[in-house]
Amino acid sequence: MSRLARVALWASSAGGVFLAFAWPFVVSADPGSAAFHAAAVATVIVFFASLGATLAARR
C-alpha cells in the first residue's frame, strides 16, 4: 500500500509537470480542452491522495 502510494505520488508529479509544460506543445493548445480538464483534475486528486497516503504510512 505504501509502495503503491509512493508510485502514485511520483507518477502524478510527473503527470503534473507534463500537463503544465508539455501538454500545450505536444497535445493541444486549446485552453478549454475537455481532455486537459479531465487529466488535470484527475492528476490533482491522485497527487493529493497519494501525498496523504505516503505521509500516513511514514514511520
Contact residues: another protein, CB under 8 A = 6, 9, 13, 16-17, 19-21, 23-25, 29, 31-32, 36-37, 40-41, 43-44, 47-48, 51-52, 54-55, 58
Q: Which residue has the cell 503534473?
A: 16
Distance between CA atoms of residues 20 and 47, nearest Å? 14
| Distance from the first to the final alpha carbon of the chain | 14
